A and B are shown apart, each in its own frame.
Chain A
Amino acid sequence: MIPGKYRSVSGRATNNVNCGLHLVIQTSSLPEKNKVRFKQVEFKLNKETPSFPGRLLQHDLERNYSSRQGDHINLVSSSMPSFPILQRSSEEKILYSDRLTLERQKLTVCPIIDGEEHLRLLNFQHNFITRIQNISNLQRLIFLDLYDNQIEEISGLSTLRSLRVLLLGKNRIKKISNLENLKSLDVLDLHGNQITKIENVNHLCDLRVLNLARNLLSHVDNLNGLDSLTELNLRHNQITFVRDVDNLPCLQRLFLSFNNISSFDNVSCLADSASLSDITFDGNPIAQESWYKHTVLQNMMQLRQLDMKRITEEERRMASILAKKEEEKKRESHKQSLLKEKKRLTINNVARKWDLQQRVANIATTQDRKDSDSPSQDPCQIDGSTISASPEETGSLDAGLTSALQGLAVIDSHLVEVDGDTLSLYGSGALESLDRNWSAQTAGMVTTVSFTFIEFDEIVQVLPKLKIKFPNSLHLKFKETNLVMLQQFNALAQLRRIDQLTIDPQGNPVVNFTLWKYYVLFRLSHFSMQKINGTEVTQNDMIMAERLFGILAHVASSELPQYRLISILGDARKKQFRYLLETKGKKPGIVNEENNDSKRLVGENTNRATLNYTTRDFYNEKLEEIKEKKKFCKMYIEDLVKEATEINMKNEALQKLWPQMFIELVRDAVIEIRNKNSYMKLCLQQITDQK
């Protein structure tokens, strides 16, 4: 029933409702069944917020005036073919001079209303009218009700400059138009129509209530100019986003229930509206989200009611806490993705450098081969400048990450990553990280070491360090490390222990050899490896390895002369100790290390100990060193040979000359002795001469 506040004053006195509308309200008995015009649904706002004063209650007003159907109305067929003419008895005219009710009259057209120029209220509810016509003369009209008709177009209103309330609900209107002259319009009700777009309302600066519920709106904009709008009802549409609401300085209530809003960004203008205090979102996809309530509360601090429920302080507090948490989470994940991206870029960078290196090295070796017999591969000087991320890569990042990364002046050229039990090294610069002070716990946990984009020869040099710093490393992985020779596996023998070995075919040509696995098993048999490249090592594999290469080991150990054995083994040990000394410095602790190591070396299958690997650089260095010695040796031997040949020549010459010399000696002697006496005299003479 009608709330007491709005119960009308008896008599024909105009009652000023606070909004400044002049309306005649009369009390009279109301046959209820006539007044089911406004379904509760449309104006439930009226019912539910009774505390708000100064609102217009059309339907209450409607109820207040009597209108018994058809009692005092005469519809006379006129001379004009389609339009009936309305006439009222003069008694009626005097009694109800400013209002006329023609509801449920089965009207299909608006009748011509004669002699009623003072009319202020006209009610055409529940008819079948298709066009608004014949009311242009009612220029004092303030209230026009055409609810529940069949009107397809708003028209015929251009003379009704005083119109304040226009009710066109439940019609077939497709477009808002022809309202230009209705500048005093206070309430515009267009619910239950087929309107798809808000337009042509920008001049209605007095409009306070706009009802566009149950239409076909898909978005809300074009609301500027509605400077008095207090309530906007947009329920039951297909709205996905809302704009322009912040241009409504007086808007207090906005009903968006049962639309298609799914993200707060689509209604972001609501946050900027200082006047909004009441909003509904129920029935939208957004209301199903877990973050719905606190996001709305957080963004619209001015709200007092959400979905028809008061917002408590508690709720507001919760909302701000949750919002902060969300912010943190987002920041975290942003940081994480930033880190990941950086990692990815670094790895790409390293990969690119590696590629470049390989290509240059390849060109160099083919040139070398053409030049000389024994190619000595000098490592080519690679341009050491760091390469920044190329544009095509940054293009794949989203804008936030890109800007953050460009803040990094230089992208790393190597990457070291410890992830639980795996130590990953990318790029040769990463090898230096082995010198770092690793905490005992971290180092102890590492069981897998993975090398990528590093030359194997460089890795060989740091293997002793690896042995010391990461004693529990059991699994080694090599990818893009340029393993090309079986020999290189010899270098792995110096480690303490290897359980698993993974050689990725990418970048390691050695995997293409048929025999590589057997060679590894053979050379590293003292490790009793369990897996190679993921496959278990079987007894048969070990046997085959031994069968294939056993003789090599035998030859290498037993057939080498002793001095060679010592020199080869000595070399290897010398090298290892050299590394140890370099890394650890002269700490007293090393002495034990060395002893232990040497003991362990002996433990290794000495059969194979002579199979060593020296990196090409070292080998060439060694050969260079030997050159001097060789030259000296050559000269020395030459001298010896010269001496020997001289002596030989002299010897031969003597051999040739001796017979002759002998004959001459004999002849001389015979000639001397021929005369015994003179010989005796000669001898005595010689003796005396000697004295």
Chain B
Amino acid sequence: MLSPERLALPDYEYLAQRHVLTYMEDAVCQLLENREDISQYGIARFFTEYFNSVCQGTHILFREFSFIQATPHNRASFLRAFWRCFRTVGKNGDLLTMKEYHCLLQLLCPDFPLELTQKAARIVLMDDAMDCLMSFSDFLFAFQIQFYYSEFLDSVAAIYQDLLSGKNPNTVIVPTSSSGQHRQRQVLGEASMEGVEASLFYQCLENLCDRHKYSCPPPALVKEVLSNVQRLTFYGFLVALSKHHGINQALGALPDKGDLMHDPAMDEELERLLVQVPGLVNSVTASPEASCLPSRTPPRVGSPWRPLHHSRKVDAESDGSTEETDESET
């Protein structure tokens, strides 16, 4: 708690870095808006609930986009909420279009902008036929990268364009060396140049990470991504980022790709709901994961909240009981 670097920052900046002020402002704003309702059950309780929900990651549900985008924690929570709510869609195996995914996003955030979804889709589809169908996992991981690091990616795009246009005299026009994941992702169209040199690219990125105030992927992992290849294109880079397990874990929002469809607690809940469907005769075939597997804890690196599926009492009203559960997990 009392790390030296923390004490080194002036007060305001410290608060800003941890986005405490954002939450404070938002809390007070919510209080103002719902004055009548909240005054009925007490302001203290309101603040408790509010910050609990911030911890749990449920504070972003049905909120406006400007709030969701405000802090990295919000973004990660949103990604997680999206995963949890629509994991079943992915499990069902449906391939959906970009527009439909956007619709699902809008169910959780009514004014989510289309551009972000489009950019995410572009990562998956490499700018071809934007009406193509995408699988849930592909889209989700690409969306994660795009949404969480959106400012970072914008800067990277600018750097890439600079490198392409030859600002750096060291750019050599050499066909990309073959590397497993990237081969099929080469940019079509421009026959002369195919991507930029990886090491050069990395240097620029490193500089960027140092001075960037927005969140960036851990530089070590970026280096890992770039070390595999000689040259790569912009989208190749993005795809590599999205598929990299380490980065996913560093972010801490979503489980590993292999575990993407697993959420035993939710599955149990789903069974309970399905039983309630009116007129149901046969019990629905229980998904095998629901009963047997113990809940997992994906390793969290510095994430401020606890994974929700630890708390088994999911159907309990969120009126303070989760507090106790959280305490017990610490």
- In the complex, which residues 245-291 of chain B have their Cβ closer than 8 Å to any Cβ of chain A? 266, 269-270, 273-274, 277-281, 284
User: Given the complex, which residues of A lie within 8 Å of B99, measured CB to CB?
Assistant: 509, 512-513
Are B280 and A539 neighbours in the complex by a CB distance under 8 Å? Answer: yes
* Docked pose: A611 CA to B85 CA in angstroms: 13
User: Given the complex, which residues of A lie within 8 Å of B207, measured CB to CB?
Assistant: none
Q: How far is the CB of A630 from chain B (nearest CB, A)?
A: 5
Count A-side interface residues using an 8 Å CB cutoff: 61
Are B53 and A561 neighbours in the complex by a CB distance under 8 Å? Answer: yes
* Docked pose: A562 CA to B50 CA in angstroms: 9
Are A562 and B61 neighbours in the complex by a CB distance under 8 Å? Answer: no
Are B280 and A543 neighbours in the complex by a CB distance under 8 Å? Answer: yes
B29-37, B159-167, B196-204 - interface stretch: B29-37
A586 at the B interface (CB under 8 A): no
Are B61 and A547 neighbours in the complex by a CB distance under 8 Å? Answer: no
Are A513 and B61 neighbours in the complex by a CB distance under 8 Å? Answer: no
Q: How far is the CB of B31 from chain A (nearest CB, A)?
A: 9
Q: Which residue in B15, B37, B49, B266 is a CB contact (below 8 Å) of A641?
A: B15
Are B15 and A514 neighbours in the complex by a CB distance under 8 Å? Answer: no
User: Given the complex, which residues of A lie within 8 Å of B21, measured CB to CB?
Assistant: 637, 641
Q: Which residue in B113, B308, B315 is a CB contact (below 8 Å) of A373?
A: B113
User: Given the complex, which residues of A lie within 8 Å of B24, measured CB to CB?
Assistant: 637, 640
Given contacts A486-B103, A551-B84, A543 and B32 within 8 Å (CB-CB) = no
A369 at the B interface (CB under 8 A): yes
B88-96, B170-178, B218-226, B228-236 - interface stretch: B88-96
Chain B interface, >50% SS class: helix
Are A558 and B29 neighbours in the complex by a CB distance under 8 Å? Answer: no
Are A369 and B28 neighbours in the complex by a CB distance under 8 Å? Answer: no
B104 at the A interface (CB under 8 A): yes
User: Given the complex, which residues of B lie within 8 Å of A374, measured CB to CB?
Assistant: 65-66, 111, 113
Q: How far is the CB of A596 from chain B (nearest CB, A)?
A: 23
User: Given the complex, which residues of B lie within 8 Å of A19, measured CB to CB?
Assistant: none
User: Given the complex, which residues of A lie within 8 Å of B277, measured CB to CB?
Assistant: 525, 542-543, 546
Given contacts A554-B273, A562-B41, A629 and B29 within 8 Å (CB-CB) = yes
User: Given the complex, which residues of B lie within 8 Å of A562, measured CB to CB?
Assistant: 41, 49, 317-319
Q: How far is the CB of A610 from chain B (nearest CB, A)?
A: 7
Q: How far is the CB of B261 from chain A (nearest CB, A)?
A: 12
A559 at the B interface (CB under 8 A): yes
B64 at the A interface (CB under 8 A): yes
- In the complex, which residues 48-101 of chain B have their Cβ closer than 8 Å to any Cβ of chain A? 49-50, 52-53, 56, 58-59, 61-62, 64-66, 81, 84-89, 92, 94-97, 99-100
A551-B87, A558-B315, A563-B41 are known contacts; what are 13 more A-B pairs with Cβ within 8 Å?
Answer: A487-B106, A512-B99, A515-B94, A539-B280, A544-B92, A548-B89, A559-B53, A562-B317, A570-B37, A633-B29, A637-B28, A645-B12, A649-B11
* Chain A residues at the B interface, C-beta cutoff of 8 Å: 369, 373-375, 485-487, 509-510, 512-515, 525, 528, 539, 542-544, 546-556, 558-564, 566-568, 570, 607, 610-611, 614, 619, 623, 626, 629-630, 632-634, 636-637, 640-641, 644-645, 648-649
* Chain B residues at the A interface, C-beta cutoff of 8 Å: 11-12, 15, 21, 24-26, 28-30, 32-34, 37-38, 41, 46, 49-50, 52-53, 56, 58-59, 61-62, 64-66, 81, 84-89, 92, 94-97, 99-100, 103-104, 106-107, 110-111, 113-115, 266, 269-270, 273-274, 277-281, 284, 308, 314-319
9 sampled A-B residue pairs with Cβ under 8 A:
A513-B100, A551-B84, A551-B270, A563-B34, A570-B34, A610-B62, A614-B110, A636-B28, A645-B11
